[in-house]
Structure 1
Amino acid sequence: MKKNKFLHDIGLIFTLITRRDKMILFFLLFATLFLTLVETFGVSVIMPFITLATNPDLILNQRIPREIYNFFNFKNTTDFMITFSIVLVIFYIFRAVYNITYNYLLNRFVSRKYHYFSYSIFCRVLRSDYEKFSKKNLDEIRKKIVTDSLRTSQFLSSFLNIFAEISIGLLLYVILLIISWKMTMILTLFLGINVFLIVKGVGRAVDKQGQERSKSEEGFYKIISHTLSNFKIVKLRAKEEEDFRLFEQISLKRSRAQALYGTLTLLPRNILETIGFCILVACVGYILYSYGDAKAVLPIVSMYALALYRVLPSVTRILDHYNAMLFVGKAVEDIYEAMTDEEKVEGDTQVIFEKNIILKNIHFSYPGKRELFHGLNLEIKKGEKVAFVGTSGAGKSTLVDLIIGILQPKDGEILIDGVKLNSENIRSWRKKVGYIPQDIYLFDGSVGENITFGSKMDKKRLIEVAKMTKIYDFLQENNGFDTQVGDGGKQLSGGQRQRIGIARALYNNPDILVLDEATSALDTETESVIMDEIYNIAKNKTLLIIAHRLSTIERCEKKIIISKK
């Protein structure tokens, strides 16, 4: 069952990588095979070197060294061994350089896959349908972009390392069979049984800890997010001990899973190395007991010692990588699900807005909920100031979201100057909208960065919108547009945050300005001042206002009253 899951996860990750990645992967596998030959030669050449160094007469008595000796016309065996030593030194330098280069290419490939996975999911999230996005858990999205993407790339790295270690192990194993197939088969029997038991026992335990780690990590992100995002409420509750206890439980569960995984991964190496070298010592003891002298078989024993010194770590590393792949298998499945989720393609065909917006026979409802709009018809002329009023939950914000293209109607159509709003032109339409929400989100950065919000910074335009929103003088008294707002804008007053939000909405010179309860958190006096400024700014713009206070919408030319059915 676990093996099937293991192979299933490998299949998933191969469907996630591009054709170019597969070509690079093929190149890396080829480079791994060459590395195998280099590593195998590096181990196998030690025995003949030691043998010829301790008994130079064999150079002339053995066929292969004799032919090399004659081909290069060596004067004596000393010259032969000196040359042999120099060649070996050059080879081991080459081996080191090749190993470093190989590992760099491998690490670069894996790191770029981490970038690819995290970037792809980030892009998919931003391109996702708003209605669908609103149902997702932000902590889970963060986890996929940051943690699961990293673990999925590590899964790929472990796969490549397993291939490398298996290749090296197989070649060394063939050499050991040639040297002494009986002794090799005895070692194989003992080690094979142990590897099987380790894979079955430890592998199952590692997979279980991987599932536990994935669950606890979701809770870990969640508690950090909801406590730090509601810090004032946490302080007012004055029950920090409950938060401490909850965080401690989740963190301990997470660290326990990681600790058990770290311990379990050490078991294969300790078990196999102990058994392998005990068998080797037992063989030497048997030879001494049977023949009384181990000189005759010393080169063979030395070769086995060197081979075991190389093979056993390879076997343990294979098991380590196998266990690591089981441990992060859940992350691979989550990334696969995120990257194969249906993606909505939206176009940027130009939309001209010079006359009106017409909503024609609009039907809309959220999945599993009552229908908010049934056959709704509405016209909004360019430059009109329109208010949307009604009780909470009646659908004011939903209607405006339909108008500005954030939500799509289930039936009916929205026409802009007679042109139907659809997936081919929706992005162009959204660019014409400046949106001011009730809660202005300001990230920890400068005022300038918060106003531009990812757009190219134009100092002239910044000054224009800062003056429009009456925040320019405040900035001049501080550090200008480099004034820091603090995380969430905590270094500014509510009115200042609101003005920055309005400046942000105006920065790209939109045709439509939307106020979604934008001033409801302000006192009446501040709200009155800001609304005067907004009406003044929006003289030539279409203004859509969602509000409860009548004072906010008193100058609107059209009032749309929405009530619950």
Structure 2
Amino acid sequence: MDSKSLIKSSIKLLGKRGIKYLFIATLAAIGIAIVELCISIIIQLLLSSFGFIGSNYKIFNYQLPQLSIYTVTAMLILVAIIRFCVQLTTTQTAAFLRDYVLLRLKKNSLYRVLFEDDFQEKSSSSMNFKLSEVFSKSSEFILNFSHFIFMFIQSAFLFLILFIIAWKESIVATTGIALIGCAILYINKKVSLFAKQVPVQQKKINEGIEKIARNFLFIKLMKKREDEYNSFCDGLKEYSSKSISAHFYSNLSAQMGPFLGILLLVLIIIISNHVWQTSSIILLSFIYLLARFVQSLSILTGYFGNANIFFAQYKLSLESVSNSNFHIIASDSENKITFFGLFKSKEMQIKNTDKNEISEINKESPEIILHNVSFSYPKSSPLFNKINLTIDRGSQVGLIGSSGTGKSTMLMLMTGILQPSSGKINIDGMPAWEYISKKEARIGYVGPEPFLIKGNLKENLCYGLTNPVNDDEIMDTLKLVSLDNLIKEKGLTYKLSEDQSGLSAGQKQRICLARAILNKPSLLILDEATANLDENNESLIAEALKNIKKSCTTIIVSHRYGILAFTDKIIDMKNIV
């Protein structure tokens, strides 16, 4: 990513609100530099009020006034209050921007997973890597780089003030600081070198964890546990070594500034006193401001080093904002996190079809027609070629076939998630994607893994329903899926734990089927719903499907015939590929 694209993407990521707060905090950083000047003047006024210096000294060609100790201390309190306000503004802005950007990145990422069909990075490994490594470290980059900007502005204005007070000493300081800066930049190149490798190693670790978790039994039976353990440990060591090295050079650059700065200060004092014979009061103000300037530079280089560590992850995160809808997705116009962290919620104005109206729309089961449908994945040979297929209204159709025959692809085509390379797929007379996207289209879905939420049985059964249902309707549906005995034993208020323990796999799937039936779907989809069940539970689900025949169009994807016992038509995918 070139510099121009980096800046444009960064502005897009921050948004108008982030830019506004960044601008305000930049003004506050200038205020801090002015406060430091005021403190140096107050030091002179204090010395004058104590009688340590005469009243004939001048500040910027103005005569030093003789003020009482009470007036000077009152001025000091006022300056302290101003310093408190501007310092709080800069530090809180950096903290706010960190969490604000993290919120926008997470919202955008989740939206793309849920709503963008062409978004490729939907695997758990990819999502975990983004959330735990890329986005979190990117937010730390924002925190440190924001502090760096504020300290840079503050340091620049302090440097300008130093030139106004004592230009000769400032030239010496500039030369010394330039040399110190070169040394620090060289060290930060080392930081960048190691920091770039940290996210690469973290991604490998995430992938290794997922590989072991998915294939534990295979690894154990093949006697490969020790090899996998050693390989994983090597990856952890590699990650740790790169991270530690990056932090070491970052800390080295942060501590190098004040050390060399003190040496520079000693040199300036000696030259100023013996060569230029600068006024002691001017030199005192210069030394104070130079000390504050060197301290600012030290803090600045520390923030720069830390930002450098996280820059690689930040660049990766900018790829997430490349979609044109980012500013809409990440918008916080309805629900706003305030500058101080309070959550300011506005009542959402959701435009939706009235539920009573929805119940009257599309009651009839849809007809699905595939006309001359061909499909191929990019750079692959055609998977389907000119398929013609009709699924009648209210019929139950099974798609069966072994792995790799295109069952899942066909289902994604029928539901509009994928678009055919040629030909068309219509549901109820409209393109599949349009029918599926309609809010009034009632669709039931049961996948291979039961989707249950933390809550009681009734809350799970009513999750996502278009219309409210009463307990009698729930009990009738549970009887339909052979779960009435479970409810008599546990009751509708039985709470499911986080890990859903207490229920068998078959009971969980039948709860999901009951939920789908309760929604009175026009289209019901079962995608490998019995893949992980025994024959008894599979036959119970097949019996339940038999009892709802003709009430909706049903598509059953499976590699087993048991669930297809009562279907009207079975399509073997190997015969149409």
Distance 2:169 2:21 in 1: 40
Q: 1:207 aligns with which of 179, 189, 192?
A: 192
Deviation at residue 384 of structure 1 after TM alignment: 0.7
User: Superposed, which structure 2 residues align to 1:21-100 within 5 Å?
Assistant: 21-42=18-39, 44-55=40-51, 58-59=54-55, 62=58, 80-100=68-88
Residues 14 and 62 of structure 1: is their aligned pair in 2 closer, same or farther, counting only changes over 3 Å? closer
Aligned length: 544
What is the match of residue 434 of structure 1? 444
Deviation at residue 460 of structure 1 after TM alignment: 3.8
Deviation at residue 335 of structure 1 after TM alignment: 1.9
Residues 318 and 374 of structure 1: is their aligned pair in 2 closer, same or farther, counting only changes over 3 Å? same
Q: Is 2:142 the counterpart of 1:156?
A: yes
SS across alignment from 1:328: helix
The one-character-per-residue Cα deviations of 1:289-339 (angstroms, maximum 9, x if unpaired) are: 789xx9x85434433442233212221232233333332222222222222
What is the match of residue 505 of structure 2? 494
Distance 1:191 1:301 in 2: 18
SS across alignment from 2:383: strand
User: Superposed, which structure 2 residues align to 1:221-370 within 5 Å?
Assistant: 221-229=206-214, 240-284=225-269, 297-341=279-323, 352=362, 354=365, 356-370=367-381
Distance 1:48 1:333 in 2: 48
Deviation at residue 532 of structure 1 after TM alignment: 0.8
User: Superposed, which structure 2 residues align to 1:384-395 within 5 Å?
Assistant: 384-395=395-406
Distance 2:9 2:68 in 1: 54
The code of the aligned residue for 2:44 comes to P
SS across alignment from 2:389: strand
Deviation at residue 169 of structure 1 after TM alignment: 1.4
SS across alignment from 2:196: helix
Distance 1:507 1:208 in 2: 58
Distance 2:215 2:440 in 1: 31
Q: 1:189 aligns with which of 166, 175, 178?
A: 175
Deviation at residue 495 of structure 1 after TM alignment: 1.4
Q: Is 2:460 the counterpart of 1:477?
A: no
Report which stretch shifted further, 106-115 or 432-441. 432-441
The answer as to whether partners of 1:438 and 1:516 remain within 8 angstroms in 2 is: yes
Distance 1:340 1:507 in 2: 40
Residues 66 and 142 of structure 1: is their aligned pair in 2 closer, same or farther, counting only changes over 3 Å? closer
Deviation at residue 123 of structure 1 after TM alignment: 0.7
Report which stretch shifted further, 473-482 or 244-253. 473-482
What is the match of residue 184 of structure 2? 198
Q: 1:12 aligns with which of 5, 9, 29?
A: 9
Deviation at residue 206 of structure 1 after TM alignment: 1.4
The answer as to whether partners of 1:404 and 1:429 remain within 8 angstroms in 2 is: no
Distance 1:64 1:387 in 2: 90
The code of the aligned residue for 2:446 comes to I
Report which stretch shifted further, 372-381 or 59-68. 59-68
Structure 1 unaligned segments of length 5 or more: list them: 70-76
Residues 401 and 210 of structure 1: is their aligned pair in 2 closer, same or farther, counting only changes over 3 Å? same
The one-character-per-residue Cα deviations of 1:504-529 (angstroms, maximum 9, x if unpaired) are: 43353322222233224333233222
The code of the aligned residue for 1:525 comes to N
Which structure dedicates a bigger proportion of its chain to helix?
1
Residues 66 and 395 of structure 1: is their aligned pair in 2 closer, same or farther, counting only changes over 3 Å? closer
Q: Is 2:121 the counterpart of 1:109?
A: no
What is the match of residue 374 of structure 1? 385
Structure 2 unaligned segments of length 5 or more: list them: 329-350
Residues 524 and 68 of structure 1: is their aligned pair in 2 closer, same or farther, counting only changes over 3 Å? same
Deviation at residue 213 of structure 1 after TM alignment: 0.7
Identity %: 24
Distance 1:7 1:456 in 2: 48
Deviation at residue 68 of structure 1 after TM alignment: 8.5
The one-character-per-residue Cα deviations of 1:161-187 (angstroms, maximum 9, x if unpaired) are: 222212221222223223332222222
TM-score, with length taken from structure 2 = 0.82
